[in-house]
A and B are shown apart, each in its own frame.
Chain A
Amino acid sequence: MLGEGILKGMAETAKNFAGSFVSVDRLTTVEYPEQRIPTFENARVFPFLVYDGPDWAAGLRCVACQICEKECPPKCIYIEKSQGKKPDFVGKPQFYPTRFDIDISVCMSCQICVEVCPFEAIKMDTEFELATDNRFGGLLLDRQQLAKSNEYYHQIHPTEATEVDARLDAEKEAAAAKAKAAAQAAAAKAGEAAKAASAKPAPPTGGED
């Protein structure tokens, strides 16, 4: 009969209306500031810079290679390279950023900077409560604001961070093994040289790979 469907629909919504007062299970709302859904491991919001050790300025993995700056589609990254170098985690002297700014009002969370970074220095954060009353300065994050420890990285993306750590450790081991081999070779050479003639200064360890 005509209008039957309307009555059925009205009954359904009436059931919901009354039911939502009776059973709390019906209500799917999570009341946000007080209750939260745990963030997913693969969630991503804006990038941050990873540092090792206690001091963020000394431990930044970033070597200011500027690949991310060039690859960034909306051009929200600004990097200034240092004049001098300082040793990185394997002890190799590298440049470091004297300035590293990300304008998160421009960033589109595409993760391309993370994909292209050869040094595992930039990763995606899960922090989303970034509202501020200053839309220019407040949304332009500098080096210090972006720097977050490796422990924090482990906390928000455990699986990924473990993988990264394993890769870095392997790299470190390889570098150490290489250094060792080079040192042995140098020592052997030095021995030979010492045998042959007077002592020569050893070549610097490492170098361009």
Chain B
Amino acid sequence: MLATPASTLSVPFIVDQVFVLFKDWLVSFLPTSWRPAAGIVLGVIGIVCVYPGLFALTTVFERKGLGRMQNRYGPNRVGPYGFFQPVADGIKSLTKEDIIPFDADAVVHFLAPLTLVVTVFMGFAVLPMGRNMVLVNLDAGLLFFFSMSAATELSVFMAGWSSRNKYSLLGAMRAVAQMISYEVPLLLTTVAVVMIAGSLSLPKIVEAQSGYTGWFPHWYIFTPWGLASFLIFAIAATAETNRSPFDLPEGESEIVAGYHTEYSGFKFALFFLGEYVAMFSISGIGVTLFLGGWSAPLPFLNVVPSWLWFFSKVMLSIFVFIWMRGTLPRLRQDQLMNFAWKFVLPFTLLNLGVTALWRFMGEGWARWVVSSIILAGVYVLMGRVGMFKKHFGPRSYRYAE
């Protein structure tokens, strides 16, 4: 896999490729015909260990961060500064009774969390997590990723339907409607990236962004169409992962917990894990498509290993998820749908047109000016038109007064 001559094995290189070299070393003990399969198995083990670990860390960081945003301490009892809280949570959910409702469809109820976790983890197979650190370099990697994330919708529906609980079913219907609505802009923003990069393979998309002009990285977020795409992608990704402010499917105040109301113990923990791992994977794909994947923001920072850049960017995006959750109130269903179909989708289509313009205007400053003006102008105009005749102020109630 590595055809690098020994003379270039500098220290940064070894640190950068430490996981790849370790894998190659482990695999070298096996007969040659077993090596590719063993390499894949090792990669899978790595992914299955790293992301649940990150999930555990994220839950405690999220609770502490949300606490700080609300001027509280957050959990600080279990272990130093409360960092062993996930261990306590894990023991709790493992030892809890696993309740299956009497009327529930036991088989589907059992399969739902499993399919969710499996499909969510599948997405990591094509994600480049560092230089040479991609499990399978598929030609249609992006398509694979989104086909897997589309398959999670069905498991959410299975969970909600099999519970035989009105709240679960409502939550599942909301989740599916929301995921379908926001999948359209999500996919269309990635189309813009594919148009510019000219490939569906994720390592190639990262490679296309890895250059620098002076100190300026060629990340797609630093172009007008890329910024617009990234913002739309961030909105749609938040909705896809059912995070606040788009957490209607699990609105605690109205429908208890949505599709996982009737889950307890370890199955609930699996849903929780699936939700967070989906956040990591969608952040990972966002980082890969718009933030240059594992490439460093400045040329001289390339001494820092590439996988560290990838995971830092992912964690930064997780922090933004948490920050939004601490700030924004939940949307109403009609607001959610209106926003998706009347604002996000038209703007995404426009952005697609602007991207095509960018592609065919060639190098030079003209395309920067033209596409910026179009995007900013339409954004302001759509905001004005959308907000026209909207009344802001104290809320009035027709019946409840």
Give chain A's interface residues, CB within 8 Å of chain B.
Answer: 1-3, 6, 9-10, 12-14, 16-17, 19-21, 26-29, 31
Say whether B10 faces chain A, with CB atoms less than 8 Å apart: no
In-complex Cβ contact of A10 among B73, B327, B386 (8 A): B327
Let me know if A9 and B73 touch, CB within 8 A: no
Instruction: With CB as the reference atom, state the residue of chain B lying closest to A16.
Output: B69
**Residues in B neighbouring A12, C-beta threshold 8 A:** 327
Interface contact A16-B71, CB-CB below 8 Å: yes
**A residues near B383, Cβ cutoff 8 Å:** 1-3
Q: Establish whether residues A29 and B73, one from each chain, have CB atoms under 8 Å apart when the complex forms.
A: yes
Is A13 a contact partner of B71 (Cβ separation < 8 A)?
no
Q: Which positions 326-346 of chain B face chain A at CB distance < 8 Å?
A: 326-328
Give the shortest distance, in Å, between B59 (CB) and chain A (any CB): 18
- A1–B385 Cα distance when bound, in Å, is 11
Let me know if B379 and A13 touch, CB within 8 A.
no
B65 in the interface (beta carbon within 8 A): yes
Q: Are A20 and B71 in contact (CB under 8 A)?
A: yes
- Which of B70, B73, B323, B379 is close to A2, meaning CB atoms less than 8 Å apart? B379
Interchain nearest-CB distance for A5 vs B (Å)? 9
Task: Give the distance in Å from the alpha carbon of A160 to the alpha carbon of B387 in the complex.
Answer: 60
Which residues on the B side are within 8 Å of A13 (C-beta)? 69, 323, 326-327
Interface residues in B306-356 (C-beta closer than 8 Å to A) = 323-324, 326-328
Chain B minimum-CB-distance residue to A23:
B71
> Do B386 and A2 have beta carbons less than 8 Å apart?
yes
* A20 neighbours in B (Cβ, 8 Å): 68-69, 71-72
Q: Is B380 an interface residue (CB 8 A)?
A: yes
B72 touches A17 (CB 8 A): no
If A1-B380, A2-B382 touch, does A26 touch B323 (CB 8 Å cutoff)? no
Cross-chain contact A28 with B71 (CB below 8 angstroms) = yes
**Residue from the set A17, A20, A28, A29 with the largest chain B CB neighbour count within 10 Å:** A17
- CB-CB under 8 A from B327, the residues of chain A are 6, 9-10, 12-13
B387–A2 CB distance below 8 A: yes
Residues of B within 8 A of A17 (CB): 65, 68-69, 323, 326
Closest to B320 in A: A10
Taking a contact as CB atoms under 8 Å apart, the answer to whether A27 and B73 are in contact is: yes
Q: Which of B72, B323, B326, B379 contacts A29 (CB 8 A)?
A: B72
| Distance between Cα atoms of A17 and B68 in the complex (Å) | 5
Minimum CB–CB distance from A199 to chain B (whole Å) comes to: 79
A10 with B323: in contact, given A2-B382, A2-B383, A2-B387 (CB under 8 Å)? yes
In the assembled complex, the CB of B19 is this many whole angstroms from the nearest CB of chain A, namely: 33
A9 to chain B, nearest CB (A): 5
21 A-B Cβ contacts within 8 A?
Answer: A1-B380, A2-B383, A2-B386, A2-B387, A6-B328, A9-B327, A10-B323, A10-B324, A10-B327, A12-B327, A13-B323, A17-B323, A17-B326, A20-B68, A20-B69, A20-B71, A21-B68, A27-B71, A28-B72, A29-B72, A29-B73
